[in-house]
Structure 1
Amino acid sequence: MRVRMLTAVAAALTLLLTGCSDGGTDPGGKVKLRFQSLAWQQESVDANKELVEEWNASHPGIQVQYVQGSWDSVHDQLLTSFEGGEAPDIIHDASDDLADFAYGGYLADLSGLLPERLTSDIPRQSWETATFDKGIYGVPFLQEPRVLIANKKILDSSGVRVPTAEKPWSWEEFRQITKTLTEKMGDGKYGVAWPLKEPVSVTLNLGLSAGGQLFHRGDDGKVTIRFTDGDGVVPGTVHAQVNSDKSASRTTLGMGGSDTLPGLFGGKYAMVPLGFSYRQQIVQQAPKGFEWTVLPAPAGPGGPAQGVSPQTLSVAEDSPYKKEAAQFIGFMLQPGNMVRLAKGDWMLPTGTQALADPSLHTEKDGWATGAALARDLRSAPAQSVRGYPEWKDKVATPALQEYYSGAIDAAELEKRLVEDGNLVLARYQR
């Protein structure tokens, strides 16, 4: 009886393993890949689905299934799917979410898998956003500078100098101009509205222009947090605008970017710092007759450098079809296709050929201003830092929110970011 039972169990296991072994192929021998996309704007969803259909039509032996994901839950969803052995083959994410997955062995090193045309077309500073140790764990393909969306009528009537990509405002000039605008606009109105519900990436990425870095990697490869004068410029400017100058609205500190648009349309705020892709919402939602313009973000002594975390395409380490998945990524990111994806998301492509497309250099809707900023986009300061998500959620977000609201001073902000932050990072670097 015992022998028969063991034989039955072995047979069942063999059947189970046999059934799982060809899960990536159909009975006809076609390779089946799952592509999880995080596209959410209708134009972007349409562009992604159209490209999948075009690939499938021209590659009958390698079929791709489009799977809809969500930016709101992607990190936890991917972690669960990785640990459960059910990760999609091709993964759409952002570069600042890749570090833990790359170091954890969940993502494939794409070195040597991608076409040379693609690797040479994307600039080195973009590749740095998805490089961990010596491996490349994602292809950065869309990027989004932060810009100032301004009410053109208010700006023109104020007489202040209008900045350009070649000559942006300094951070000190920006502070003074928001004071001037507030005085001219009258009671209950503000020169600027900072939507800082998620304050960390805004603070760090804009801080690069003032020489801020915050995260410093030693010769031993370990990262520690140090707060320099440059790190204090952006948070100090926002804190002053809200608490002493009264040139920035306090109520918007807890808002997301979309929440500030009605106030911008209604003339309550002269300008709002927003991601470049928000232009689509403005085109769709602005009332008739509303005139707006796109201005570069303020810059520091080092110029208009700005940190970004590009959208990326990665391949799961567990995928049995890494080569085929990389081929699909190469197709998706051909220059013409990259332009389609960029226009669908109202963002900028990383590829130099795509970025040169004339349709991305028109004055209409501020495309030309954004394209002019692309050369100064750099890897976000925390890009390759293990433990960054925990530091951001548990330390930096509450500390910055309290500082911007005036609940704590600059010394307490520095203490919490550095001392509490280094305790968090140390757990990931033993």
Structure 2
Amino acid sequence: MPLLGQPVVSRRSLLAGAIAAPFAGACAPAATQSSGGPVQITFWSALRGSQPVVDAFNRSQNKIKVIFQQIPGGDQGGYAKLSNAARAGNAPDVCTIEYMQLPGFAIDGVATDITGLMSDRLRNQIVPQAWRLATFDSKTFAVPFDIEPMVMHYRKDLFDQYGLTVPRTWDEFAGLARKVRDKAPDKRAAVFATDGAYNVAAFAWQAGGQWFDISKGVWNVSMTDAPSRRIAEYWQKLVDDDLVWVNPSAGKQYDAQIGNSLLLVRFSGAWEAGAQMRARPKQKGQWAIAPLPQWDPADAVVGTQGGSTFAISKDSRHAEAAMEFIEWQVTQPDSLRARLTSGTSSAFPSSPALIPVGSESFDRAYYGGQDIYRLFDEEAKKIRDGWIWGPRMSATQRVVNDGFARMSAGGTIIEALRHGQSGTMPDLKALGLSTSEHSS
């Protein structure tokens, strides 16, 4: 059953036209200022620091007043709350949606097509690789807040202790993993996360995989294409040779592996640098960040892990005011400064104008003085074009993770991906979407 339940607009309106059909939408009416004061718009988000951002925006002008509501993270109930509100016709004017969930909310009609509302200034303020993740069939459904290239976080002190070199390629990483196990049997180079469907997606993305694409109005699904099989076989060998831990990346076991120095490498988005600082202040000076290992260093590419956008809902009666607020959030230095008053963050802004703000506020001492923002900027330029998230990624993620969880009983990574694909198809068909499937 799809996480969001039944779509909030009719199948007929969604399927009108060819490739544009899954993303049919209309801009909400323009904002109007009442005689009694500023236009009021509502904003829901789970992002840390959103209240200070709203307060700063409200102080910056007197035409628009934003009413903010903090909601749980998407998987903790925030997306269900948004979907329910949309079905009831009272979704907020502005909401935060992660990249991987955006196609589903566009199909459901919750996030509207904002192409006509965006100014040329805004378009030019956001890096192209971020826009491409929020745009389908030349229609844009949200404004990117951050762009999170996958990078390699590693324990520099333990690398030095065991005489390890930062791997440039995945072959080198496999060799490193074997050295770690041999030199320190109680430690492992990394974790294969049994709740890490999105991590595996990022690995497949980097390798050239294409789990979903849209052609002539048809959603094509291929989660076991050749690049995806390649990364499945690679990680399966690491698992089979006992070179990595195999457990969830959320929970006490994983926290203990990091806290007790049993884990040398973590692969995640740029955002995790700040999360690491907040969670484990006593490991200051022990960590560093490096580019993701490559399959072909001469053609370096990466995928993303994490990242959020701001969308305007189909229920907004003040779309122009909503867009003005969004543009201020993602392009104005004062916005990021306000957000950072709530604590350390390393979310990598989609607007280059905000990168210096994030860099200046970040305490480099935790990472031994390393300029991690320069690294993130270099890696963001390597994000491979063409990746599209599926229409029901929460359901896809759940089925894939169920398959990973069975690995302790003999299941395999490629079987989990096959199950993920077969488990995804009923949801797409239930949406009334035209589909095709490529199995291997």
Q: Do both share a fold (TM > 0.5)?
A: yes
Kindly state the Cα deviation for residue 205 of structure 1 after the two structures are TM-superposed.
Answer: 1.2
Alignment of 1:270-309 (within 5 A): 270-284=264-278, 285-287=280-282, 291-301=286-296, 302-309=299-306
1: CA distance, partners of 2:202 / 2:281: 28
Residue in 2 that maps onto 1:67: 69
Kindly state the Cα deviation for residue 83 of structure 1 after the two structures are TM-superposed.
Answer: 0.7
Residue in 2 that maps onto 1:100: 104
In our comparison, the structure showing a higher alpha carbon Rg is 1
2: CA distance, partners of 1:82 / 1:67: 16
Change (3 A) 1:406 1:154: farther
- The answer to whether the aligner puts 1:310 opposite 2:310 as a matched pair is no
Residue in 2 that maps onto 1:425: 428
Kindly state the Cα deviation for residue 137 of structure 1 after the two structures are TM-superposed.
Answer: 1.2
Kindly state the Cα deviation for residue 407 of structure 1 after the two structures are TM-superposed.
Answer: 1.9
2: CA distance, partners of 1:75 / 1:377: 27
CA contact (8 A) 1:151 1:264 kept: no
TM-score normalised according to structure 2 size: 0.79
Change (3 A) 1:401 1:381: farther
2: CA distance, partners of 1:304 / 1:52: 36
Alignment match of 1:237 (pick from 234, 237, 247): 234
| 1:349 partner letter | P
Residue in 2 that maps onto 1:377: 383
Residue in 2 that maps onto 1:132: 136
Query: What SS is found at the alignment partner of 1:92?
Result: strand
1: CA distance, partners of 2:293 / 2:271: 18
Kindly state the Cα deviation for residue 90 of structure 1 after the two structures are TM-superposed.
Answer: 1.0
Q: Which segments of structure 1 move beyond 4 Å, counting only runs of 4 or more?
A: 24-27, 341-344, 360-363
Residue in 2 that maps onto 1:391: 396
| 1:376 partner letter | K
Residue in 2 that maps onto 1:160: 164
Change (3 A) 1:160 1:342: farther
Residue in 1 that maps onto 2:187: 189
CA contact (8 A) 1:142 1:342 kept: no
Q: Report the structure, 1 or 2, having the larger helix content.
A: 1
| 1:159 partner letter | G
1: CA distance, partners of 2:230 / 2:197: 14
TM-score normalised according to structure 1 size: 0.81
Alignment of 1:22-421 (within 5 A): 28-40=36-48, 45=49, 48-71=50-73, 72-163=76-167, 169-185=168-184, 187-194=185-192, 196-225=193-222, 227-244=224-241, 246-250=242-246, 253-256=247-250, 260-284=254-278, 285-287=280-282, 291-301=286-296, 302-337=299-334, 339-340=336-337, 345-355=345-355, 359=360, 363-364=369-370, 366-378=372-384, 381-383=387-389, 385-393=390-398, 395-403=399-407, 405=408, 407-409=410-412, 412-413=415-416, 415-421=418-424
1: CA distance, partners of 2:409 / 2:385: 30
Change (3 A) 1:307 1:53: closer
CA contact (8 A) 1:200 1:397 kept: yes
Residue in 2 that maps onto 1:13: none
Structure 2 unmatched runs, 5+: 1-31, 435-440
2: CA distance, partners of 1:101 / 1:289: 40
Query: What SS is found at the alignment partner of 1:326?
Result: helix
Change (3 A) 1:309 1:338: farther
Kindly state the Cα deviation for residue 221 of structure 1 after the two structures are TM-superposed.
Answer: 2.9
Kindly state the Cα deviation for residue 360 of structure 1 after the two structures are TM-superposed.
Answer: 8.2
Change (3 A) 1:92 1:159: same
